[in-house]
A and B are shown apart, each in its own frame.
Chain A
Amino acid sequence: MIEYRIDRRSGIATYLQIVQQTKQALRLGLLEPGDRLPPAREVVEATAVNPNTVLKAYRELEREGLVEARRGLGTFVRKALGTTVGDSPLRAELVAWVERARREGLERDDVAALFAAALDEHFQDRKEEQR
């Protein structure tokens, strides 16, 4: 089950934070097809966010075909996002690379900048991906 963390100072609309965190969980394999998203009631009780905000986020995820609402049962994951990268060899390789970068004295921001540059080089639809 996913737990949402709302950052009030991020400048990102609250419903969008829920959408992004759900997608992140789908990418990492923390949520899999068939899993149920937490009921709006539980999310609002934990976060004190307005229920309509949570419903708006779930509607957006549904519009993108990632989840489906089943009447009276809840909202369920329909498909994983991209290839599930949570425990793939790619992740292990990336972790190894990050460890090496750190050993060689790179700062966190240096690593992030390198990674972002590599992404920009190979993914034209970067904006779309980040949404």
Chain B
Amino acid sequence: MTTTAIEASALGKRFARRGNWALRDCSFRLPAGRVCALVGVNGAGKSTLLALAAGLIAPTEGGITVLGGHPADARPDLGYVAQDKPMYPQLTVAETLRMGADLNPGRWDRDTAERIVSGGALDRDARIRSLSGGQRTRVALALALAKRPRLLLLDEPMADLDPLARRELMGLLMATVAEQGTTILMSSHVIAELEDSCDHLLVIGDGRVRLAGDMEELLAAHRLLDGPAQDGTSGAGPELGQDTVVVSHTTTGRQCTALVRDAGAAPPDGWRAAEPSLEEVIVAYLRNPEVPGLALDTVFAAPKEATA
């Protein structure tokens, strides 16, 4: 049985009564045990969504359930690392870890905390305020992971880490998922970095869901068509069936390239079909806000067959 880690329905948030909507009409479901990438342009609402899931702010409309209940009730099972890594600046690294242990009695994993901190050659007696951005990230991740949460919410966790630390800590996150079945929702701008580590995708643009679902299924739902540009009025690329949505198309000289979403019918005469990359799909949806979004729900999907 698949359980749900996060479920949002028509979720909306605005910070001032007459202000703009930071998030609007957001509906998606994140199954437990997934590693989900949260992608969107700056100001798209990613941090707002993570703060809503963490129960730190209340929705203006719609609802969100986390681990089957109200976000505030899920807090003991939540690990949340905000973008600015808020910690007590006057405490030392050692004191911060001791505080983590005291605040999470019965579930604190001291070895994990020590391991993450010692990976960065950090001085235990250094105060948090004296640490570099990357060092703070390391301490914040140590706090979040040592709590052994069922759901980790990470807001651009890798942004200020060096390449070595990135690899080490991403590996550690994956090992945590393998061992504990943790669900992770993490925002990032570096799609190439997310491609191998994440198996689920949530793209938001302008406060709304653009893409949601299993990464492989989302990729499989799209094709990149390549063919001769049409003369005359249509200008809109290939002649396609009614069920086909053209997400984006560009014409260069006599050639037209289109990213389409369809049931996999044979491409029109003279056109070649190829599998798009994750980046191509995401960029196409973010660039073309008028194209309807796509949310795949994997609840009733059959177990995936291994195919060669």
**A residues apposed to B, CB below 8 Å:** 6, 8, 14, 16, 40-42, 44-54, 56, 59-60, 63, 131
For the complex, give the distance between the alpha carbons of A51 and B306 in Å: 15
* Contacting residue for B199 out of A41, A45, A52, A59, CB 8 A: A52
Main secondary structure on chain A at its contact with chain B?
helix
Q: How far is A41 from B197 in the complex, measured between Cα atoms in Å? A: 13
On whether A45 and B171 interact (CB within 8 A), knowing A8-B196, A53-B196, the answer reads yes
The reply on B1 being an interface residue by CB < 8 A is: no
B interface with A by C-beta (< 8 Å): 35, 167, 170-175, 177-179, 192, 195-199, 304, 306, 308
Q: How far is the CB of A102 from chain B (nearest CB, A)?
A: 35
Question: Which of B167, B174, B304 contacts A51, CB < 8 Å?
Answer: B174
Of B170, B192, B198, chain A has the most CB atoms within 10 Å of the CB of B170
**Whole-angstrom CA separation of A48 from B308 in the bound complex:** 22
Are B174 and A50 in contact, CB atoms less than 8 angstroms apart?
Answer: yes
Q: How far is the CB of B39 from chain A (nearest CB, A)?
A: 16
Bound: A50/B192 CA distance, A: 14
The residues of A that contact B167 with a CB separation of less than 8 Å are 48
Do A48 and B306 contact each other (CB < 8 Å), given the known contacts A8-B195, A41-B178, A41-B179?
no
A63–B174 touching, CB < 8 Å: no
Contacts A56-B306, A60-B308: A48 and B174 contacting too (C-beta < 8 A)? Answer: yes
Inter-subunit contact A8/B174 (CB<8 Å): no
Question: Which residue of chain B has its CB nearest to the CB of A55?
Answer: B178
| Contacts A/B (CB < 8 Å), 10 sampled | A8-B192, A41-B179, A44-B177, A45-B174, A47-B171, A48-B197, A50-B174, A50-B177, A50-B196, A50-B199
Residue of A nearest to B173 (CB): A48
Please tell me if the beta carbons of B174 and A44 are within 8 angstroms of each other in the complex. Answer: yes
Contact at B177–A51, with CB atoms within 8 Å? yes
Are B175 and A45 touching (Cβ within 8 A)? yes
A56 contacts which chain B residues (CB < 8 A)?
304, 306
Residues on A with beta carbons closer than 8 Å to the beta carbon of B177: 44, 50-51
Q: Is the CB of A48 within 8 A of B170?
A: yes
B306 touches A50 (CB 8 A): no
Q: Which residue of A lies closest to B194 (CB)?
A: A50
User: What CA separation (Å) do A42 and B177 show in the bound complex?
Assistant: 12
B171–A46 CB distance below 8 A: yes
Q: What residues on B are CB-neighbors of A51 within 8 Å?
A: 174, 177-178
Q: Are A63 and B306 in contact (CB under 8 A)?
A: yes
Q: Are B175 and A60 interface neighbours, CB within 8 A?
A: no
Least CB distance from A118 to B in Å reads: 26
A44 CA to B308 CA in the complex, in Å? 21
The CB with the most chain A CB atoms within 10 A, among B173, B175, B177, is that of: B175
Q: Chain A contacts of B197 at CB under 8 A? A: 48-50
Q: Give, as a whole number of angstroms, the nearest-CB distance from A107 to chain B.
A: 31
The reply to whether A50 and B171 form a contact with Cβ atoms under 8 Å apart is no
Counting chain A CB atoms within 10 Å of each CB, which of B178, B198, B304 scores highest?
B178
A60 CA to B308 CA in the complex, in Å?
Answer: 8
Q: Indicate if the CB atoms of A50 and B175 lie closer than 8 Å.
A: no
B308 near A131 with CB under 8 A, answer yes
Complex: A99 Cα to B306 Cα, angstroms: 41
Partner of B175, one of A6, A16, A44, A63: A44
The CB with the most chain B CB atoms within 10 A, among A8, A45, A131, is that of A45
Q: Which 10 A-B pairs have the closest CB atoms?
A: A44-B174, A51-B178, A48-B170, A45-B175, A45-B171, A41-B178, A48-B171, A60-B306, A59-B306, A49-B196
Which residue of chain A has the shortest Cβ distance to B177 in the bound complex? A51
Chain B residues contacting A41 (CB-CB under 8 Å) are: 175, 178-179
Contacts of B170 in A (CB 8 A): 48
Which residues of the other chain, A, contact B192 by a CB distance below 8 angstroms?
8
Whether B178 lies near A14 (C-beta < 8 A) is no
Residue of B nearest to A64 (CB): B308
A41-B178, A50-B35 known; 13 new pairs, CB 8 Å cut-off, are A6-B196, A8-B192, A16-B308, A41-B175, A47-B171, A48-B167, A48-B174, A48-B197, A51-B177, A53-B196, A53-B199, A56-B304, A60-B306
